Structure 1
Amino acid sequence: MNMGRRNFLKTGSVALLATGALDRALAKTAAKPNILIITTDQQFADVMGCAGSKWVKTPSMDSIAQRGVRFPNAYVNYPVCMPERYTMYTGRLPCQRRLADENDKPTISLGNQAKAAGYDTAYFGKWHIQDQTFTTEDSKHHGFDVNTGGKDKTMTKNAVQYLSADRRNPFLAVVSYYNPHDICEWGRKKAGRTEGIDMKNGEVAVDPDLAQCPPLPDNHEINPDESEAVAIRRSLTDKGVPNAQLMAMDFSKDDWRQYRWAYNRLVELVDAHIGELLEALDSNRLADNTVVIFTSDHGDGYGAHRWHQKSVLYEESCRVPFIVCYPGKGRRNETDQRLVSVGIDLMATVSDIVGRPMPSGPYYGKSALPFVLDKNSKAPTHDYVVTEAEVRISKQQTIDGRSVRTPQYKYHRWSQGDHREQLFDMINDPGETRNLAANPEYAERLEMHRKLFADWLEKTDDTYSES
């Protein structure tokens, strides 16, 4: 770990007394804190050193966790980029995007919440929010005054410049990284594709030494009673070409181990860029007055259930990092087992930090801030969280999926196909390998989750349909 990251782990009080720094620091430490939101793309929650992985080194992510609160039970609202990003930046549920049109662009967005509270706003990197929501140029609706793209290296450089500039107002800055999403390209290369492959943010070996590769996960094999919807998703083609998941079905066990190795290296590449951001906070005397939120838009199969990429309801696709560091006020180096619904909760959390109320209407997020500040907070929290998914067979035919995660169990429900219902004990079977839905001993728990699901559909006007 270099000196910049070491300093980020300290309180910074000594640095504030350095010659010439005090006046600037006082200007930066106005009543409202700065906010830096860092997102990766396609990162499973457990692929971090602070989450217990021995096969990946993530000193930058770990340093955020050491100064803050990590929520290991954080689930996306949809395990695919665009619908989840719609939710993260509008606070609306993914299914609500289907009801929106060009005349229904959200004016209450994450950027505009901060702007209304007097913040400067900036967004760096991957956008990938559906254009029908708002384009990058549509700052009136998305609320970011600065909005630049670029690969991971470029966006880091631009973000560091922004963090180094003098300003009178607090800032909300989002840095949206691509990696470890390039595992999709690695998978295509491993499967033999040669055209159109671009690992945009750094190459990693396709055939690493097996001695360096992690073992297969305990839940590597496909469940014998896996939902038919998931099996259909494995078999789909993309414009007549087998998709990455279908190509990965030919991977050997050694190939899957190499896949996991490559994924770990891509996480390390993006972790290094995150380290540059943390160093910029440190060197510009911002670390002590900047809330850092780290998360991802969805996970990756990581070889579990022989799954490559995302889009289904398994843990690896749906559970992501969610870490909040609030210097001087928040808890430090702690984990909190409360359930987090990342997309809808991000808007609520940022609104809470900047001092803006959530608007009235169909918003279901809950702020994580009270639990960052006080582990015994009595603030409202989620009794369960819901993740949406779909398998699009054609323009005319879609299979809807939902999961309901309670503190101990997880319930999968698909609108069509065999084995439509799955119930897993997440304490005793975190790999989701033993479906309890047909076990009479769990009939009462199954019915409870069915009722929670029905209540959610009614409460939210969810578009899920079994017709």
Structure 2
Amino acid sequence: MNRILACLAITFSLWYITCHLTNAADRPNIIFIFSDDHCVQALSAYDDSRISTPNMDRIAKEGMRFDRCYVTNGICGPSRAVIQTGKYSHLNGFIRNGNTFNGDQQTFPKLLQQSGYQTAVIGKWHLGSTPQGYDYYDVLKGQGPYYNPPMITADADGNPITKPHVGYTTEIIGDKALKWMEDGRDKNKPFMLMFQHKAPHRNWMPAPKYLNWLDDVEIAEPETLFDDYEGRESPASNQAMSIASDMTDNDLKLTTPRGLTPEQLKTWNAAYAAKNADYLERRDSMTETEIIKWKYQRYAKDYLRCVKSVDDEIGRLLDYLDENGLADNTVVVYSSDQGWYLGEHGWFDKRWMYEESLVTPLLARWPGVIQPGSVNATDITSNLDFAETFLDLAGVEIPDDMQGASLVPLFKGQTPADWRKSFYYHYYEFPGAHSVNRHFGVTDGQHKLIHYYGPNHDGGEIDTWELFDLTRDPNELKSEANNPEYAGIRKRLATELERLREQYDVGEDTQPARKPRPANRKRAKAIN
């Protein structure tokens, strides 16, 4: 009898192991491609008026484009923490840049590891702590420079070490991702790779091969480049992210960059020196409007040049999947940490709940499941949903305390009956870079209600509201918060806002009220 039981136990064990390995092999690989500060206005699958991004477009053509992907807190580090945890900033503990992410908490890479996935993160991390939940990490130190980046990885004993590199950061990250795909992973396991770029973050330093690209092109100006902020409350006027007043000589490449090798510097100067000399010779005779227009062209071209390099590296990775028979069983998702102002409202940077920074690109390809060339133009999705989506793809149970929802049903063209109809946003970093007031709000895609609160630019407190009709006023130029005709809409949105704050367990903002920075300079002072 004991021999029979032993044989049965062995048979069951072999059956279980065989089934487990089969299921593991059947589970799709996951590649999450993430850039920094990339707006839909600079991705030709959304808007082809400024740039062609054929490799990003390929993901959309072979998969699905999402038009209403909203971020929970439009700034670099907090967005990354939301993706790791599937939780809003107030619960994952990373509410503003400068915080340190608590890597001991539950994250989706840890759960994937436990289920048999091999995990890796390569590129920008920007969370302050050492990555946890990854079999391999090789990440930029801090924000990371555009050239010759120091990067942090683990030594043979698993301890973090910093290694220097020479070259263009976007290309180095691409090389490392391909090397891990070829030599670093266990090819008998499903994998999850986070392939994360610094570009096109400020200060927009292009690769050598693109330094002169677009020189003979005039980039279309956004219609709100010369916005006067008359229709909104004081925060819109008091920010410090104006192309006219807040860009530095370093942003505009009017100074010599540091950290380049002699060969890199020679190539750099060959591209910028003559153009800079021409501008500086003419500047004193130029009108303020002409100076702003020149700054916009310099900024927009450098930004687009950085995007072009990211697109190139995505193309290399997609080609690798094709050439190695991995494409059919690999889900590829592309997004960015939030949107960005490519001159809209006269701005650069992000942070606001206004559309340009609230909306981030989201493209997904899953051969055999996602209908090629499909567009989801109506469902509200979010970076809050990414962790849940990756777990669902892997067949891993989604923890009850995660706050988003899996996008897998949407990938299949099926919108659940209980899918969100409204969205909650919360930005905390004031006082801080670019002087954008703290605010939270709700949008349903048609109307948007925003509440500014807390310390103000004048040292006092702010407590004011904006309401926008996105159908009539897509550029959000005129708040209707005090318009009696919108009283019913305001009341409905205010009720929904409170419901969402309760649903997401949002408490009071207890950040210390540090001394605010001075109010922004007058727009008439166009210096540099």
Structure 2 CA distance for partners of 1:200 and 1:56, relative to 1, 3 Å: closer
Aligned to 1:388: 426
Is the contact between residue 203 and residue 251 of structure 2 (CA under 8 Å) also seen in structure 1?
A: no
1:428-439 matches, within 5 Å, as: 428-439=472-483
- TM-score for both structures, normalised by structure 2: 0.71
Is the contact between residue 59 and residue 271 of structure 1 (CA under 8 Å) also seen in structure 2?
A: yes
1:67-146 matches, within 5 Å, as: 67-98=62-93, 105-131=103-129, 135-136=130-131, 139=132, 143-146=133-136
Measure, in 2, the Cα distance between the counterparts of 1:103 and 1:148.
17
Identical-pair percentage? 25
Structure 2 CA distance for partners of 1:80 and 1:245, relative to 1, 3 Å: farther
Computing the radius of gyration from Cα coordinates, the structure with the larger value is: 2
Of 229, 237, 250, the residue aligned with 1:223 is 229
Q: Secondary structure at the match of 2:61?
A: helix
Aligned to 1:330: 370
C-alpha displacement at 1:341, in angstroms?
A: 4.3
Q: Does 1:284 align with 2:274?
A: no
Aligned to 2:442: 404
Amino acid at match of 2:318: L
Amino acid at match of 1:225: G
C-alpha displacement at 1:95, in angstroms?
A: 1.9
Structure 2 CA distance for partners of 1:463 and 1:308, relative to 1, 3 Å: farther
C-alpha displacement at 1:176, in angstroms?
A: 0.2
Amino acid at match of 1:381: W
Aligned to 1:192: none
C-alpha displacement at 1:264, in angstroms?
A: 2.0
C-alpha displacement at 1:436, in angstroms?
A: 1.9
C-alpha displacement at 1:464, in angstroms?
A: 5.0
Aligned to 2:137: 147
C-alpha displacement at 1:201, in angstroms?
A: 5.2
Structure 2 CA distance for partners of 1:463 and 1:301, relative to 1, 3 Å: farther
Is the contact between residue 81 and residue 101 of structure 2 (CA under 8 Å) also seen in structure 1?
A: no
Aligned to 2:464: 420
Cα deviation digits, residues 263-283 of structure 1 (max 9, x gap) = 222211110111111011111
Structure 1 residues 311-320 or 292-301, which shifts more?
311-320
Measure, in 2, the Cα distance between the counterparts of 1:289 and 1:67.
14
Structure 1 residues 289-298 or 350-359, which shifts more?
350-359
Please list every run of 5 or more consecutive structure 1 residues that lacks an aligned counterpart in the other structure. Answer: 1-25, 187-198
- TM-score for both structures, normalised by structure 1: 0.79
Q: Secondary structure at the match of 1:212?
A: coil
Of 7, 26, 35, the residue aligned with 1:31 is 26
C-alpha displacement at 1:383, in angstroms?
A: 1.2
Q: Secondary structure at the match of 1:288?
A: helix
Measure, in 1, the Cα distance between the counterparts of 2:374 and 2:123.
29
Aligned to 1:457: 501
C-alpha displacement at 1:296, in angstroms?
A: 0.4
C-alpha displacement at 1:130, in angstroms?
A: 3.8
C-alpha displacement at 1:337, in angstroms?
A: 2.1
Q: Does 1:303 align with 2:293?
A: no
Is the contact between residue 401 and residue 412 of structure 1 (CA under 8 Å) also seen in structure 2?
A: yes
Cα deviation digits, residues 125-183 of structure 1 (max 9, x gap) = 0111243xxx23xx3xxx111001252211211111222246111100110011111xx
Is the contact between residue 230 and residue 312 of structure 1 (CA under 8 Å) also seen in structure 2?
A: no
Aligned residues: 412
Aligned to 2:50: 55
C-alpha displacement at 1:433, in angstroms?
A: 1.6
Measure, in 2, the Cα distance between the counterparts of 1:245 and 1:404.
37
Is the contact between residue 83 and residue 130 of structure 1 (CA under 8 Å) also seen in structure 2?
A: no
1:364-379 matches, within 5 Å, as: 364-373=403-412, 375-378=413-416
CA RMSD, 1 decimal: 3.3
Structure 1 residues 375-384 or 72-81, which shifts more?
375-384
Measure, in 2, the Cα distance between the counterparts of 1:277 and 1:80.
27
